[in-house]
Structure 1
Amino acid sequence: MIGRAPRWAIAIMGLIALVWIIPLFGIVVLSVRPVGETMLGWWRLDSFTLTLSAWQRVWDRYPLADAFWTTAFLAGVSTFLTMLLTPAAAYAFHFLKFRFRRLLLIVIINAFVLPQQVVIIPLFRLWRDMGLMDNFAAVVVPYVGLSFAWSIFLVKNFLEDFPKDLIEAARIDGCGPVATFRHVVLPNMLSPVYAVGILQFLWTWNALLLPMLYLRTHVPLPVVLARVAGTYDLNWDLRAVAALITTAVPLIVFIVFQRQFAAGSQATSGGKE
């Protein structure tokens, strides 16, 4: 039976939650107040005027609708491909035997320490020579490729404790590698797959560097958010609106996937009970 948490732990968690909530509340206040009232601090209550002019100006000046769908497409496709390919790759590296398996795994894992900025210029030349500049593939391919370094490592670590008796039983029943992965391994590894999906979606939704360099016509929300900041005018109210629009979807998706993550962590087979 799980006991009740001590009061000091509840107090500490409440303080941490307050520290996280206050900046978010400040951004909301900045987005619905005139700039003149927040110059000396959004928390001042000398005069308080509610207005949605910043929301209207951001919507009129910047292509938020197009940027939203561009961001959703890039993040959705990148997350889907990562969740589709990572479990199969981790299964192959952990259970299958093939030449240069260990060397290839070391190369993939070592890419985890490779800074993203290192591949910018080589990728720029490659996409330019292939005619893929201002093409979604120029962003999706690095998103998926760079995620393999940590996603395969995460899922493979989960498979370290996977019962090998289930694999042997599937082979005795006549299942090949693909059937074993589909019917035995994959249903029991939903927990790390959902974790990979959460992390990949959050990263790709908030990514700025690659889309800013390789896309021109259709750009995602983080690039639009960077453009909202004026050179001489700080535009705090406009930036607050753009920040809220950019972060709303990741928050919702994280809550939804977190429930699925909890459900997936309880999906076990008879060999693991």
Structure 2
Amino acid sequence: MIGRVPWWTVIVVGVLAVCWVVPVLGIVLTSIRPPADVALGWWRLDNIRFTLDAWQRVWVEYPLAESFFYTAMLAALATLGTMLLTPAAAYAFHFLKFRSRRLLLIIIINAFVLPQQVVVIPLFTLWRDMKLIDNPLAVLIPYVGMSFAWSIFLVKNFLEDFPKELIEAAKIDGCGPIKTLLHVVLPNATSPIFAVGVLQFLWSWNALLLPMLYLRTMVPLPVLLTKVSGTYEMNWDLRSVAAIVTTIVPLIVFVVFQRQFAAGSQTRTGAKE
């Protein structure tokens, strides 16, 4: 029987919820109220008027739809690549025997502590020499490669408790490593794979540094958000609209897949759910 929730936890959760909701409410109200009405604060109620001028201006003055498409394309491709390659790499490191396996795994995992800024200049030189500047591969390759540090660790941690009897049974039935991965491991490891996909999608969607440096004509939403600002005015209403468009998709993805994400971060069994 589940006991009653302590009263103080309700207060703490309520305070955290208010701290999260109030800024979001402020952004929404700023985007639908005239700038003059929110100049002294969006919370003022002495003169309440609503308008969609900011939404119309953003879509007309900035390539918001085009940036939305580029962001969705890059995030989807990076997520798909990570979800395909990570389980195979984790399976190889955990079940297969090959030379320098442990050393290579340590190197990949330790890359998690490597700041992204460290690889910016070497990558820029490499992409320039390979003529990949303003090419989607210039950001997709780092997106997928730099995610291996945490994604392989997450899936391999799940495989620690994976029943080895299933692997041995597959070998007896004549399955090689690839068939064992496809028909035994993957069907029973959907939870951590979904967790990796959600995290990778959120990170790729909100990435700013690499697209800003390596892309020219393809401008994702986070980069466009930095450009939605005036020279002599702050354009808070336009920024609010761009911020809403930028964050709405990651929020929807997290809400829809939060159950799979929670299961992937908590499940430590190889039994198929």
TM-score (norm 2): 0.94
Structural mapping, 1:97-116, within 5 Å:
97-116=97-116
The corresponding residue for 1:47 is 47
Matching residue's letter, 2:113: V
Contact 1:31 1:54 in 2 (8 A): yes
How many angstroms apart in 2 are the aligned matches of 1:16 and 1:187? 37
Q: Which amino acid aligns with 2:202?
A: L
Shift of 1:191: 1.2
What do residues 188-208 of structure 1 show as CA deviations (whole Å, max 9, x unaligned)?
A: 111111111111000000111
For 2:254, the aligned partner's letter is F
CA distance in 2, matches of 1:260, 1:106: 28
2:224 aligned residue: 224
Q: Distance in 1 between matches of 2:130 and 2:270?
A: 47
Q: CA deviation at 1:8?
A: 2.9
Query: What are the residue-to-residue correspondences of 1:245-256 with 2, within 5 Å?
Result: 245-256=245-256
Please provide the CA RMSD for this pair.
1.9
- Once residues 173 and 263 of structure 1 are traced to their aligned partners in structure 2, the CA distance between those partners, rounded to angstroms, is 30
1:60-209 residue pairs with structure 2 within 5 A?
A: 60-209=60-209
1:190–1:261 CA contact under 8 A, matched in 2? no
The alpha carbon displacement at 1:128 in A equals 0.8
Contact 1:190–1:267 (CA under 8 A) maintained in structure 2: no
More displaced stretch, 238-247 vs 15-24: 15-24
Q: For residues 210-245 of structure 1, give each alpha carbon's deviation from its aligned partner in whole angstroms, at most 9, with x where no partner exists.
A: 111111112100011000023432111110000000
TM-score under structure 1 length normalisation: 0.94
Post-superposition Cα deviations, 1:70-104, rounded to whole Å, max 9, x if no partner, equal: 00000000000001100110010011001111111
Asked whether the 8 Å contact 1:139–1:210 carries over to 2, the reply is yes
The one-letter code of the counterpart of 1:81 is G
List alignment gaps of at least 5 residues for structure 1.
none
Consecutive unaligned residues in structure 2, runs of 5 or more = none
Contact kept in structure 2, 1:188 and 1:267, CA below 8 Å: no
Change (3 A) 1:162 1:98: same
Q: Secondary structure at the match of 2:11?
A: helix
- Measure the CA separation in 2 of the matches of 1:122 and 1:267: 38
Judged with a 3 Å threshold, the aligned counterparts in structure 2 of structure 1 residues 161 and 263 are, in CA distance, closer, same or farther, namely closer
Shift of 1:268: 6.7
Quote the Cα distance in structure 1 between the aligned partners of 2:87 and 2:236: 43
Deviation at 1:262, TM superposition (A): 5.7
Q: Which residue of 2 aligns with 1:56?
A: 56
Superposed CA offset, 1:29-70 (max 9, x none) = 000111111122110112111011111111111000100000
